[in-house]
Amino acid sequence: IEIYSLHVDCKVTSRFAHTLITSKIVNRANESKEATFEVELPKTAFITNFSMSIDGKVYPGIIKEKASAQKEYDAAISRGQSAGLVKITGRKLEQFHVSVSIAAASKVTFELTYEELLKRQLGKFELLIKVRPKQLVKHFQIDVHIFEPQGISFLETNSTFMTNELTEALRKVQSETKAHILFKPTVDQQKINPELDETLLNGDFVVRYDVKRGATAGDIQIVNGYFVHYFAPREMPALPKNVIFVIDRSGSMAGRKIEQTRDALLKILQDLRPEDHFTFITFNSKVVEWKSSLLEATAENVASAAGFVQTLSASGGTDINRALLTAVSVLDKAEMLPERSVSMIILLTDGQPTSGENNVEVIQENIQKAINEKYALFCLGFGFDVSYKFLEKMALSNSGIARRIYENADAALQLQGFYQEVATPILMKIEMQYPENAIEGLTKNNFKLFFEGSEIIVSGKISGDLDLLPVEIKAQSQASDLTLKEEAYIKEKEQIFQNQSYIFGNFIERLWAYLTIQQLLEKSLSAQEEDQKILEGQALELSLQYSFVTPLTSMVVTKPAGQQQAELANKPTEAG
C-alpha cells in the first residue's frame, strides 16, 4: 500500500483556518489490501467534510444528529465498536482514523476538511499541523496561505523534525497582509538516511503569527452581511490582582506532582507585581491558611511565601468544598485592596472530593452562591483522576476557565504557562455595544476580564440596511473608565475581501457559526437542565446547518458493499 500523494492545504483568513488534507493511495499488491487514512487535528477544530473515492466512486461522510446516528447504526455496529473514528491523542490533538479495503491495483483518495478559529494566546496565534505519513511520499506538500487585512506583524514556522536538508524544502513568502508557506520535501529529503526507506516526517509543523493593531476600538471585518470584531488593546497598565492559590496536598499529590507544584509556585511568586496581593490555602481533609489575610507582594512577603512553598508535603484526603469556601471568605473580608483590582482564585487539584462535602453538585452550588459573581475561579486539574467535568462547570459558572495539567516532566512549565495567561489583567467589565435593532445572532459581548496577550472576538449578522456599523466599547482600566468608539463603512469593509481569490466567500458566516456553537456548548455546561436542552438544541441546529462535527453531531462514514457498512466519527471532549 503506497501513499503516492499527501497534500495539506490550509487557508487562514482573518484567524479562521480552513484545512483540507488529501491523501492518495494505491494498492501495489496483487490482492486486496487495507488502506488507512490517519490524521491528527487540533481539538479546537470541527471536522466539516470527509470523503473517500475508490476507483472514481465517491463515498461521502454524512453529518447527522448524534443520538439518531447512534441509534441507526447501533443495529449495524457490534456494541464494542462504537468508539468511532476519532479519539483524543494528546494535549492538543485528536486523531481521525479510517480504513477501507481496496482491490489489487486500485486507488483511493481520502479527503478531510476541518475548520477552527485561531485563539490568541500570550500574544500570538498558533496553527498546528501534525505530520506523520509513516512512509516516504512521492508528492508531499504543505501549503499555508494566511490573509490578515490588519497586516501581519510577525510570522514564524518551526517544527519538531526539521533538519538542514528539510529546511531547504521550506519556502516563506510574505507581504504586508499575506503570507504563503510551502513545505515540499523530495523523497530523498524525507529520508532519515540515504540507505533506509524511513521517513523523518514525524511531529509538529507549527506556524505562529500576530497581526498589527492600529485602531483603539479594535478591528471590524465584514463579508456577505456578517461581521467580526477583534479587540486586543495594547500598552495598557496592568490592573493589580488579588490572587489566592488553593493547593491540593492530599496523598495522591505525593512525590513528583507536589515537587512540580512547588517548582511552579516558586517561579510564579517571582512574577507577582509589587501592587498585587496574594496568599495560599492548602488542603487535604484539613484546610490550612498560610496567612489569615492577603499580603502585598513585597520582596519580603514573597521570600516568606517561598519558604512556605518549599515545605509543602502531601498526605490525607481532599476537601475541595471547604478549601474554596475559605478562599472566598478571605476575599470577602479583605480590606485595603486597591479599588480597581481583579480578584481571582486559582485551584489546583488532582482528584475527586473525598472529605467534607463530596457531592460535586452541592459543591458547585455552594461555590457559585459564595462567589456571587464577585471573583473569577480558575480550576487546574492535575492528571486524569480528576472529574474534569466538575472542574470545568465550576470554573465556567464563575467567570473562569478550567485546564488539564498533564502528568509529564514539563508539568511545572504547564502550570507557569497557565499563570502567564492570567497574570496580566488590563481591563475589566468590558461591554461591546452595537446598534440593537440592526444586529441579529450577536455572540457573547460582555466580558468580565481581558488579559494581556489574548483577544476578544464578537461576531453577528447585520440585519438592517446599514451603510455604517457604529460600535462602542465600555471598559474599566487601571486608571479610568473607558469608552472607545469606531465606525465601519460596510461597503468599504466588504471590498477588502472581494478580490481575494483563495478565500472561501462565506468565511465570516462560518466563523460566526463556529463561535456561536462553541459558546452555546460552553454555556450549556454550566446551565440548569431545562436551559441546557434549549442551548444544545440551538447548537445542534447550527452544527447541522453548517455541517460541523461537534459533540452533538456524528459523521456517518459509509464504505463499499461487503465491508463494515458504517462507522461513526464523533467529537471527543476533554471531560470524556
Contact present, 117 and 18 (Cβ < 8 Å)? no
In a domain, 543, yes or no: no
305 domain residue, yes or no: yes
Whole-number pLDDT of residue 431: 98
Whether 400 is covered by a domain: the verdict is yes
Distance CA(391)–CA(381), nearest Å, equals: 7
Among residues 466, 483, 469, 463, the alpha carbon closest in space to that of 434 is found at 469
Torsion angle, alpha carbons of 195, 201, 202, 206, to 10: 160
Strand partners, 203: 131
Residue 77: per-residue pLDDT: 56
Compute the distance between CA of residue 205 and CA of residue 166 in angstroms, rounded to an integer: 12
User: Is 258:249 a contact under the CB 8 Å cutoff?
Assistant: yes
- CA dist list (Å): 138 to 2, 141, 143, 184, 188: 9, 10, 16, 10, 10
Q: Using an 8 Å Cβ cutoff, are 512 and 228 in contact? A: yes
What is residue 310's three-state secondary structure? helix
State how far the Cα of 70 lies from the Cα of 490, in Å rounded to an integer: 44
Q: Which residues of 442-463 are buried (b: 16+ CB within 10 A; e: fewer)?
A: bbbbebbbbbbbbbbbbbbbbe
Q: How far apart are CA 543 and CA 92, in angstroms?
A: 22
Separation between Cα atoms, residue 492 and residue 183, nearest integer Å: 35
Task: Decide if 378 contacts 420 (C-beta within 8 A).
Answer: no
Q: Has residue 499 been placed in a domain? A: no
Distance between CA atoms of 11 and 17, rounded to whole angstroms?
A: 6
In a domain, 398, yes or no: yes
Judging by DSSP bridges, how do beta strands 277-283 and 241-248 pair with one another?
Answer: parallel
User: What is each CA distance from 425 to 142, 239, 310, in whole angstroms?
Assistant: 37, 6, 28
3-state secondary structure of 438: helix
Question: Which three-class secondary structure state does DSSP give residue 514?
Answer: helix
CA-nearest of 384, 91, 411 to 260 is 411
Q: CA-CA distance, 277 to 297, in Å (whole number)?
A: 6
Selection from 428, 400, 408, 397 nearest residue 344 by Cα: 400
| 8 A C-beta contact, residue 475 and residue 430 | yes
Residues β-bridged to residue 312? none
Question: In total, how many domains does the chain have?
Answer: 1
What grid cell was written down for 160?
A: 519538531
Please provide the size of the chain in residues.
576
DSSP 403-423: EEE-SSTTHHHHHHHHHHHHS
DSSP 252: G
pTM: 0.94
> Containing H/E element for 482?
strand 481-489
Report the run of H or E that residue 246 belongs to, with start and end: strand 241-248
* Cα atoms found within 13 Å of the Cα of residue 476, Cβ hemisphere only: 11
Q: What is the CATH number of the domain that holds 379?
A: 3.40.50.410
Q: What is the DSSP string of 255-268?
A: THHHHHHHHHHHHH
Is residue 334 within 8 Å of residue 364, measured between CB atoms?
A: no
Spell out the per-residue pLDDT of the chain, length 576, in tens.
Answer: 999 999 999 999 999 999 999 999 999 999 999 999 999 999 999 999 999 999 889 999 999 999 888 887 776 555 444 456 888 888 999 999 999 999 999 999 999 999 999 999 999 999 999 999 999 999 999 999 999 999 999 999 999 999 888 999 999 999 999 999 999 999 999 999 888 899 999 999 999 999 999 868 999 999 999 999 999 998 899 999 999 999 999 999 999 999 999 999 999 999 999 999 999 999 999 999 999 999 999 999 999 999 999 999 999 999 999 999 999 999 999 988 888 999 999 999 998 999 999 999 999 999 999 999 999 999 999 999 999 999 999 999 999 999 999 999 999 999 999 999 999 999 999 999 999 889 999 999 999 999 999 999 999 999 878 899 999 999 999 999 999 999 999 999 988 887 665 556 689 999 999 999 999 999 999 898 899 999 999 999 999 999 999 999 999 998 887 776 678 889 988 876
Domain that residue 334 falls in:
241-423
| 138 contacts: CB under 8 Å, gap ≥ 6 | 4, 5, 187
**Residue 112 near residue 47, CB atoms below 8 Å:** yes
Domain annotation covers residue 382: yes
The answer to whether the CB of 385 falls within 8 A of the CB of 350 is yes
In a domain, 349, yes or no: yes
The rounded distance, in Å, linking the Cα atoms of 344 and 375 is 5
DSSP code per residue over 63-108? EEEHHHHHHHHHTTS-GGGTT-SEEE-SSSEEEEEEEEEE-TT-EE
Measured CA to CA in angstroms, residue 353 lies from 202, 244, 357, 360, 483 at distances of 40, 19, 7, 8, 44
Q: Which residues contact 9 (CB under 8 A, 6 or more apart)?
A: 19, 20, 21, 22, 143
CA nearest to 112, candidates 247, 222, 10 = 10
Within 10 angstroms of residue 316's Cβ, the number of other Cβ atoms is 16
Residue 514 lies in a domain: no
